[in-house]
Amino acid sequence: MGKVSENKQQKREALLNTAFKLFTTKGLHNTSISDIVEQAGVAKGTFYLYFKDKYDINNKLMVHRSTELFDAAMERLAQKGLTDHRERILFIANDIIDSLTENKLLLMFISKNLGMGFYHFTMENEQIVEYPSIHNAYEELVRETENKISDPKLMLYMIIELIGSSIYSSILYSQPVDIETLKPHLYRSINGIIDQFTI
């Protein structure tokens, strides 16, 4: 890779990182492109060489960051060598909760984008975007539990939604209780759901 290409990638990276920082701290709508380019140290016009608009850079960030989160969890799961599907699900849940507890900016960023749940889309400016990487990890878990669980897709959907929506205020505001207090009860609930769906 030549120096020009390197520099080019540097600017793109700078824009992405700055945008992430600003979107999480100030919110998507309170962040202007002027803010981003100023803090990133590039010219205003340069922004438009890499991104269509604010929503474009937001979506690209979203794909990138959430992919990292899930891929890392699945990788650690593989290293663990767990075989029981219940244990595997709880491991993933725990891993993601820990990652988000340590990285609250990421939690805010993902939650601000995913709107109501972990599962699907973000709708901003009339664009609907799906996040394929999340689905990859998700499909993998679905496949491996097919013969032990009656409706694995829906069960996992509900478990993920339960986790995603429960931990948000717990991690950020310790409401209604802090995350360490919530965790055992959350696992109890997950176990209760798995019980119901186990064949």
Return the bridge partners of 124, or none: 127
83 interface partner picked from its own copies, DNA, none, CB below 5 to 8 A per type: none
Q: What is the DSSP letter of 126?
A: T
Question: Judged by CB, which is closer to DNA: 44, or 80?
Answer: 44
- Nearest Cα residue to 31 out of 109, 140, 139: 109
* Two tokens, residue 105: 């900016």
Residues that bind DNA (CB under 7 A): 2-4, 7-8, 11, 30, 32-35, 42-49, 53-54
Residue 147 has phi, psi (to 5 degrees) of: -95, 0
Of these partners, its own copies, DNA, none, which one is at the site of residue 78 (CB under 5 to 8 Å by kind)? none
* Residue 17 vs 117, nearer CB to its own copies: 117
Only one of the segments 51-59, 62-70, 96-104, 162-170 lies at the binding site for its own copies (rule: CB under 8 A); that segment is 162-170
76 sits in which H/E element: helix 54-80
Binds its own copies by CB under 8 A, chosen from 41, 68, 154, 174:
154
| Cis before 152? omega within 30 | no
Cβ–Cβ under 8 Å, residues 154 and 176: no
Binding site for its own copies (CB under 8 A): 29-30, 111-112, 114-121, 125, 151, 153-155, 157-158, 161-162, 164-166, 168-169, 173, 175-177, 182, 185-186, 188-189, 191-197
